[in-house]
Structures are given as structure tokens and as C-alpha cells.
Amino acid sequence: MSAASLWSDVLETPAVLVDFDRMERNLSRAASYAAEHGLALRPHVKTHKSPHIGARQIALGAAGLTCATPYEAEVMATVATDLLVAYPPVGALRAARLAALPAQVSLTVALDSAQAVADMASAAASVGRRVGVYVELDLGMHRVGLPAVDAAIALARLVAAEPSLDFAGVAFYPGHVREHVHSQDAKLHVLQEALDEALSRFARAGVTPRVVSGGSTPTLWRTHEMSGVTEFRPGTYVYNDRTTVAIGACTRDDCALTVLATVVSTAVSGQAVIDAGTKALGREPVRGAEGEGFGELLEHPEVVVMRMSEEHGVLDLAASDWRPQVGERVRVVPNHVCIVVHLNDVVHGIRHGVIETSWPVAARGRGERVVV
């Protein structure tokens, strides 16, 4: 523990800090929950985009990792042999990139269209690989996924008919269930009825899914109540954020990631300006309520980031006796941590005020090349 690694001395701002003790507690809690209920935990890496953390999730018992983008899958293939790309593999370039993942990776994709089946089947066949497929159901979120069970069964049959594809299961995302954990009953009931109906019709049709993949961070601790679900894919739980707290899926003490910022101006009375704005925090709501702001201070929860420009965050001091000095440093608990990670290149892991390690956000971006 060298003095030089005190983050207050060495870090320019804005900088992303991760409290390792909190993160480890978050990871362990979800792993224990999965083990207790016999559920396969397949964490979504979109939140951390880091092979270090992906490896830690695997070590704690995760069945595999979930990715959204081809680049996330490429980066996670360095630490995991079982990857789900929970995103339609549409387009020859995207499908080919997925098919080109290392051969030792067991790859599954989720999809909802005949076009995606054709694209993935063709790409997989051309490299002699077999790819698992979850047929995505819309159980109320109305984003991707087939609302009609007949159409989902027909798609599963299309998948099963492709030699390069393996019908592995069904997937859904309960992203519309964002009520407080204790107020989710009504929506979970409706979701359960739709899931029951879908599963019984799949069974009657003779295309029984081996895996039923659902679950999110907001519904994390109620996954075991969703009858039929065998696998869940929470992402945000690794770090948590103000939204997870508002939903009741964690406490404020479970927020592991903060943005370190410097007060750069106090010239206008009633406020202080920090160097974390939309380009460090993102313009993400908690629930969209008046006055909730875009983040709150770890040490002064009554102070929120009320307005932002690209590199400025305006702290509203009206509810606080605290009066910061120019040059003072603060830590912001963000509204939506997945966006914060995506906006920054490096994360600093701290324990007791000391930087223990830093790592790049390895799967940030798209792995794009300059093509001309």
C-alpha cells in the first residue's frame, strides 16, 4: 500500500472508481442466490465490459456470460467458454463476426425473426460451427421478441431445421417490470401467465425449450418466483446505481461505482459546478421525477446534479448546508451505471481509499477499425 496509489493524489477527474469490497459483495450475493435456488446465473457484461470481472463472475459459479454486441463477445471469449449473445444476429457482417468467435466457445444467440435465423445459420454453416438459439418471446416489454406464441413455435421449428443451429430454449426480458421489488406482484403475475401459456404450448407442439432465460437486475431477487425460468441475466447488480436503489433491489451501500469529480466553479451562488457532465455521467433518469437530477453525491446525498452540459455538472446546494470550495473533490453515485461505464475508458478499483488496480473498459466501443 504505497502513498502514491492514494486516488486523491494520482487521479485526474472525472474518473471512475469502483469500491472492490462492495463489488465483491454484490457478486457473491447474486451467486449465492442462484445456487440457493438452483438457477443458472448468466451475468450480462454490458454493465462492466471487463474480462477481469467476467472471469470473477465465472469463478463464483456463473454458467456463462451474456453479451449484447459482437465486440463484447470477442472480449469475453478470452475468459469464458459459454457465451450468450442476447441480441438478434441480423446482417451478414454481424453474424459472420459472431461465427468467427474462437471454436472452444459454446455460442448461443437470441433472435425473433426468420431473417436472423437465415443470417446466423448461413454464417455458422460457412465456418462449420453449430450455434445454439433461444427464440425470444415478448412477455410484456414490447421491445424485441415475438408476442404470438404460434409465431415463436414456428420460428423454433425453423431453427431446428437448420443443421448449423440448435434450438436451445426461449428467452425473454422483463424490462417493463421496474416497480419497487415489493410492488412487482401484479406485473409478475401477468408475466407468469403469459410464460405458462407459452411453455405449455411449446410442450404441446413438441419443441420443448431446454432453457428458459429471463430475469434482470430489477427483478433479480424474485427470479425464483418465476415458475419455469431456469436462467437469469442480470447486469447492473455488479455495481448497482441510484435506479437499483430506487427499485429496492439493493441499498445505497451496495452502490459500488462512483464518479470522482472536482469542483471547478462556485461563482454562481446556490450551486457548485463539477467536471462531470453528460460526457461522464450520461443524461439518464432514475424515474423521470422532477428534481431527481442525474446523480447524487456519495458523501452528501441531499446534493444532486441538477443540470448538465457536456463537461459540466451543476450541483444544487439548496437542500444542503455543505458549501464546497473550488478544487474540492466529490464522488457522484450515478443514475444508470451501464452508461457511465460506456462513457469512460478506465476504471479504478479502490479499497479503503487506495487504488488497488486499474483496468481499461476493454469491451467499450465496437472494436471498430478505420476501414479506409
Q: Which of residues 145-204 bind a second copy (CB under 8 A)?
A: 145-147, 151, 175
For residue 289, state whether it binds a second copy (rule: CB under 8 A).
no
> What's the closest the beta carbon of residue 38 comes to a second copy, in angstroms?
29
# residues contacting a second copy (CB under 8 A) = 81
Q: Which of residues 219-278 bind a second copy (CB under 8 A)?
A: 262-269, 271, 273, 275, 278
Residues 3, 104, 163, 325: which binds a second copy (CB under 8 A)?
A: 325
**CB nearer a second copy, residue 224 or residue 322:** 322
Residues 3, 103, 289, 371: which binds a second copy (CB under 8 A)?
A: 371
Reported in sequence order, the residue ranges of 178-274 that DSSP labels E, i.e. its strands, are 211-214, 231-232, 257-265, 271-274
**Cα separations (Å) of 12 from 1, 9, 262?**
20, 9, 9
Instruction: Report how far residue 98's alpha carbon sits from residue 120's, in angstroms, rounded to the nearest whole number.
Output: 8
Contact 115, 144 (CB under 8 A): no
> What's the closest the beta carbon of residue 123 comes to a second copy, in angstroms?
13
Instruction: Report how far residue 151's alpha carbon sits from residue 158's, in angstroms, rounded to the nearest whole number.
Output: 10
CA-wise closest residue to 277 among 225, 313, 306, 243 = 313
**CB nearer a second copy, residue 39 or residue 156:** 156
For residue 362, state whether it binds a second copy (rule: CB under 8 A).
no
> What's the closest the beta carbon of residue 271 comes to a second copy, in angstroms?
8
Q: What is the largest CA-CA distance in the chain?
A: 70
Q: Which of residues 295-324 bind a second copy (CB under 8 A)?
A: 307, 309-312, 314
Residues 19, 284, 292, 296: which binds a second copy (CB under 8 A)?
A: 284
Instruction: Report how far residue 192's alpha carbon sits from residue 196's, in angstroms, rounded to the nearest whole number.
Output: 6
> What's the closest the beta carbon of residue 229 comes to a second copy, in angstroms?
20
Phi then psi for 221, rounded to 5 degrees? -80, 5
Phi then psi for 153, rounded to 5 degrees? -65, -45
**Cα separations (Å) of 115 from 88, 93, 118, 120, 155?**
10, 13, 5, 9, 10
Instruction: Report how far residue 162's alpha carbon sits from residue 89's, in angstroms, rounded to the nearest whole number.
Output: 15
> What's the closest the beta carbon of residue 278 comes to a second copy, in angstroms?
6
For residue 282, state whether it binds a second copy (rule: CB under 8 A).
yes
Q: Which of residues 17-46 bind a second copy (CB under 8 A)?
A: 46
For residue 345, state whether it binds a second copy (rule: CB under 8 A).
yes
CA-wise closest residue to 86 among 148, 156, 173 = 173
Residues 1, 10, 127, 160: which binds a second copy (CB under 8 A)?
A: 10
**CB nearer a second copy, residue 31 or residue 280:** 280
**CB nearer a second copy, residue 101 or residue 338:** 338
The dihedral over CA atoms of 72, 347, 342, 67, expressed in degrees to the nearest 10, equals 20
Residues 195, 276, 358, 363: which binds a second copy (CB under 8 A)?
A: 358
Q: Which stretch binds a second copy (CB under 8 A): 18-26, 33-41, 241-249, 342-350?
A: 342-350
For residue 97, state whether it binds a second copy (rule: CB under 8 A).
yes
